Amino acid sequence: MSNSRLVNYTRLSPNCSKPRNHAIDKITIHHMAGNLTIEQCGAIFAADGRDASSNYGIGTDGRVGLYVEEKDRSWCSSSSANDNRAVTIEVADDEVGGNWHVSDTALSKLVELCADICRRNGIPKLNFTGDKSGNLTMHKWFAPTACPGPYLASKFPYIAKEVNKRLGNAQTEYKSQNGASYRVRVSIPDLNIRKGPGTDYETIGRYTGKGVFTIVEEHVGSGASMWGRLKSGAGWISLDYAAKL
């Protein structure tokens, strides 16, 4: 079991279990709740008695830190069952508070690192389902926490899509079969509804809000990998921000 060649800095934490007891088949993304460098994050995890660590960390500048080798289980998600199966990644925030924004540079490196983890561990596809059943998971599903923060949580469908592109999976999660309708969950409050399938169509002047919606038609269009037409007749939404149920 190897570690990523994307690593720029290594400081191994004593706060881990050696070795993990399950093959790697998941990735869990966290946020640092601060704009820490990878060195600062490594120093925190290196403290005896901290009882916390992650496999990797990504700074706002896109540099990658290694804190727990992939062969070992980090103490990251408040779930030994999840952490024994998952590679865990802490990502720095370039906005403290609010939506806990993550820089484009960090997000891009996160996609690259996730794709690398999948390739080396034989994970053919990253599947975000919006719950624990998928292999891309969030800390807040295992503990009473807001981690990974609103911004990064909203990017999970995008992360899965971009990783799967790099893995050679061009088809998205959202392809309906035989024209059947299906439901999706929207987890961000400000997803635009548009008059047609693409960003070149005007918005209708309101958002979906968070919730579950039925898609009755798909169409390729500008600004997203796939667009879905709402059963309500309100218009079209980007399926990059919706998880199929």
CATH of residue 220's domain is 2.30.30
Q: Is the predicted pLDDT of residue 223 greater than 90, yes or no? A: no
Question: Is there a single domain that holds both residue 17 and residue 134?
Answer: yes
Predicted pLDDT of residue 109: 96
Q: What is the domain extent for residue 195?
A: 182-244
Threshold 0.85, pTM exceeds: no
Question: Is there a single domain that holds both residue 14 and residue 84?
Answer: yes
Q: Are the CB atoms for 134 and 127 separated by under 8 Å?
A: yes
Question: Is there a single domain that holds both residue 29 and residue 105?
Answer: yes
pLDDT in tens, 3-46: 999 999 999 999 999 999 999 999 999 999 999 999 999 999 99
Q: Of 113, 142, 166, which marks where a domain is finished?
A: 166
The answer to the question of residue 134 being in a domain is yes
Total of domains in the chain = 2
Question: Is there a single domain that holds both residue 44 and residue 160?
Answer: yes
Question: Is there a single domain that holds both residue 74 and residue 131?
Answer: yes
Q: How many CA atoms lie within 13 A of 16 on its CB side?
A: 27
Place of tokens 């909203």: 154
Distance, CA of 87 to CA of 84 (rounded, Å) = 8
Lowest-confidence segment of 35-44, 132-141, 149-158, 175-184 by average pLDDT: 175-184
Q: Of 166, 196, 229, which marks where a domain is finished?
A: 166
Question: Is there a single domain that holds both residue 124 and residue 27?
Answer: yes
The answer to the question of residue 173 being in a domain is no
Q: Are the CB atoms for 66 and 117 separated by under 8 Å?
A: no
pLDDT in tens, 46-100: 998 889 999 999 999 999 999 999 999 999 999 999 999 999 999 999 999 999 9
